[in-house]
Structure 1
């Protein structure tokens, strides 16, 4: 039997048409009462939901009302087809088997998390419930399809979890590659309670350290760096995580301490020196060759080496130089406040974050930890819980804050199924990264450190003089 294929002209005539919505010549997705529609316009229209102005029912609104073009339901528009899911009856975008996106996501996850008996692995049921319940199931389907065919993507990691090939421990996830996909899945498991909650930046450091040690050629250097990380860097990171939380800058500085310690040991080796034979002239030479940041990063390793007697105790380290950026002037602070309150082109989250820095002198690392419940409405008054007592929010800022809460970014997606954070991040159950938010604020003309300094100065000016004196002047020893 000879198979015939359509010519380009026949393909153009049979499958292509001008879309009645976007007026572009695209592949036909269907013939609707107002004409042919392309796939893009069809998907967008079917996902439009609300109260139909024709019949008053809450439904999908893919049709257009003649005259004003208002979205209306399929019944009022006279559609010959329906968009009801064949399983649950939900009206919306249909995929294979005329199933809606949520039912399709449910089937995909059921197959991936199957433990081999036809049922979801019991320990992973909370993860299944979390993903299926997301408000936008199409984002979950897109997440499962990311990097299709490559080892370590979301689907393959979920399949290995279902079969029990990956133990449900943090150490097991720290060894998985690619690390980004594994880290995100680990955070999802912590969000739904399958794994115990651990600071994600502590996990990030523990995942990074073995790879760094693998790249060191000298076994003695590997031993020294591992001891330094185990007995100095990691205990301080864990203490910080228990006390509050680890910020990206703290995580980055911990890694830089390890990197500079490694570089210093290699530098000593090039001078035919070891840590035990290191002299004061070696320390002075290294300080002279490196930047202030490099000296700061190495300082902890040198102090640890001296205290643990791995290098001579007679060594002394030069004093540190601390520099700070000057605070904004009061005119600059007021100008930035006015711009954030009125400039609608600036993203809402940056306007709100910038105003909190300028008005309340809060560090960005504290701002990203605020939750929606920290914004309290008491009648017509809006309060912000930054401590005790709560701080009143001026009227224009209150309106901006409430509008931001109603339209937050990164909500109800596969990466963040549900979030209580005032500034939700892309990662599951996590707020925005403070370093990322600080960089964005700097781009819109609100340098976080300088703006906070201006806020602190203004608050000091508004406090009574005895209060300021009692706070700033050191109390005598008893």
Structure 2
């Protein structure tokens, strides 16, 4: 049997007597590329039968919605490629062959044990199962942090008695509170991972010198910090917690110095904003993300995690909720965001999953990452940090911190700092004007 290929007029045997030689012999749909003489959707049905057919009748129920959604998805090629080629799909087939419904605990055990594709494949599969409601949503931040803690404790069991209470009673509660903000949990997971790793590294360094945490002095801390100052300052969180709980003497780890943010001039800032609002040659997602960045100074991780529900209509006006305060949008920006929300996803899992995000990503049910969004903006010459700095300074000049903080999702202390920076910049501007006109006045 021959296989019909794209741009070829050779057709397979079953199609020889069909009225349309370029239609699938099973369903009659047009086909541009076929596998075993069938279109993508029919081939997908066959693969789904193979994967889910191993389940006994008593265990099929939770997977019915997932199988139907995959079979009827707008882009069958995406689901077909996943089933054929991915480690996570092979992992799903192996698990379903066991004949019982999966649980989060089963996947956690597989992630800890390694195996096919490792923890990354397990987490990808978990995302698919949660997206299609086979598994319930859970506090993924807590689960991932606990799993990482278990890995670190397994490598260094002598540190577990200190790291476990630090993570569970200090690190996790703060991470959960911060994860409720629109930026989501991914950033907070990395934040927690870094602090666990640095705490373990510091304890290991002290052990290598024959010291316990209680024996460590400021000299040992300073020496360890000097070894790699760019990353080790995050141990401050653990050192402060240990001193407060009586596990060590008071030790000083200074905050890592940050360079003062540098903005762009006002003319360039408004020209970029005008380009995002009016230039239809730019990709729509770049225009929308760039406009929110330039107008509201939002961090890209928060822009990437904007849900579709953040955009709504109140009293006939389009509003955007970045944190707690609905912000009435100017018409050009409202039009760009509304067009983005109404645009169907072009390809990938975003086209096969329920629409939850203004900026959908390439993982099932997930939004785009801030890193990918940053690359897209940079590719179109939008300077991210300078643009955010200028936007926040302009807003801080006009709005008091008590208004700015809940509107943009900033901590009130951060809003006060931006207010002071804006006042400093304004004072410097006035001083420059006064100095520059003084000779003429004399």
Shorter-chain TM range is 0.7 to 0.9
2:59 and 2:101 in contact (8 A); partners too = no
**Over aligned residues, Cα RMSD in angstroms?**
3.9
Q: Aligned pair in 2 of structure 1 residues 423, 330: CA closer, same or farther (>3 Å)?
A: same
Aligned to 1:369: 305
Q: Aligned pair in 2 of structure 1 residues 256, 458: CA closer, same or farther (>3 Å)?
A: same
Aligned to 2:436: none
Q: Deviations over 1:142-165 (max 9, x none)?
A: 111115xxxx44134234135346
Q: Does 1:333 align with 2:299?
A: no
- Partner of 2:136: helix, strand, or coil? coil
2:236 and 2:255 in contact (8 A); partners too = no
Q: Does 1:265 align with 2:200?
A: no
2:179 and 2:188 in contact (8 A); partners too = no
Q: Aligned pair in 2 of structure 1 residues 306, 376: CA closer, same or farther (>3 Å)?
A: closer
Aligned to 2:136: 196
Q: Does 1:100 align with 2:66?
A: no
Structure with more contact order per residue of length (Cα contacts < 8 Å, sep ≥ 6): 2
Aligned to 2:53: 114
Q: Does 1:307 align with 2:270?
A: no
> Structure 1 length as normaliser, TM-score?
0.69
Displacement of 1:374 in angstroms is 4.1
1:384 and 1:393 in contact (8 A); partners too = no
Q: Distance in 2 between matches of 1:215 and 1:440?
A: 39
Displacement of 1:333 in angstroms is 0.8
Q: Distance in 2 between matches of 1:349 and 1:235?
A: 34
1:326 and 1:450 in contact (8 A); partners too = yes
The unaligned stretches of length 5 or more in structure 1 are: 1-27, 31-38, 47-78
Q: Aligned pair in 2 of structure 1 residues 120, 415: CA closer, same or farther (>3 Å)?
A: farther
Higher CA-based Rg? 1
Aligned to 1:250: 188
1:29 and 1:42 in contact (8 A); partners too = no
Q: Kindly report which structure 2 residues correspond to 1:58-457, keeping only aligned pairs within 5 A, or say none.
A: 81-93=20-32, 95=34, 99-117=38-56, 121-147=60-86, 152-164=87-99, 167-170=102-105, 172-173=107-108, 175-176=110-111, 177=114, 178=117, 179-216=119-156, 219-241=157-179, 246-291=184-229, 293-295=231-233, 297-312=234-249, 314-318=250-254, 321-341=257-277, 346-376=282-312, 383-386=319-322, 388-395=325-332, 397-407=333-343, 409=345, 411=347, 413=349, 416-457=352-393
Displacement of 1:430 in angstroms is 1.3
The unaligned stretches of length 5 or more in structure 2 are: 12-17, 405-411, 418-442
Q: Aligned pair in 2 of structure 1 residues 90, 292: CA closer, same or farther (>3 Å)?
A: closer
Displacement of 1:407 in angstroms is 4.3
Aligned to 1:21: none
Report which of the two has the higher share of strand. 1
Q: Distance in 1 between matches of 2:399 and 2:245?
A: 47
Q: Distance in 2 between matches of 1:343 and 1:236?
A: 42
Q: Distance in 1 between matches of 2:165 and 2:98?
A: 36
Q: Aligned pair in 2 of structure 1 residues 460, 254: CA closer, same or farther (>3 Å)?
A: closer
> Structure 2 length as normaliser, TM-score?
0.74
Q: Aligned pair in 2 of structure 1 residues 107, 347: CA closer, same or farther (>3 Å)?
A: same
Q: Deviations over 1:266-295 (max 9, x none)?
A: 221232212121122222332344415421
Displacement of 1:390 in angstroms is 4.1
Q: Distance in 1 between matches of 2:32 and 2:210?
A: 69
Q: Distance in 2 between matches of 1:239 and 1:461?
A: 29
Q: Distance in 2 between matches of 1:336 and 1:367?
A: 17
Q: Distance in 2 between matches of 1:224 and 1:320?
A: 24
Q: Aligned pair in 2 of structure 1 residues 438, 370: CA closer, same or farther (>3 Å)?
A: same
Q: Deviations over 1:310-343 (max 9, x none)?
A: 223x444445545441233212312322443465
1:201 and 1:246 in contact (8 A); partners too = no
Q: Aligned pair in 2 of structure 1 residues 394, 191: CA closer, same or farther (>3 Å)?
A: same
Q: Aligned pair in 2 of structure 1 residues 186, 170: CA closer, same or farther (>3 Å)?
A: farther
Displacement of 1:301 in angstroms is 1.2
* Aligned residue-pair number: 395
Q: Aligned pair in 2 of structure 1 residues 299, 341: CA closer, same or farther (>3 Å)?
A: same
1:124 and 1:162 in contact (8 A); partners too = no
Report which of the two has the higher share of helix. 2
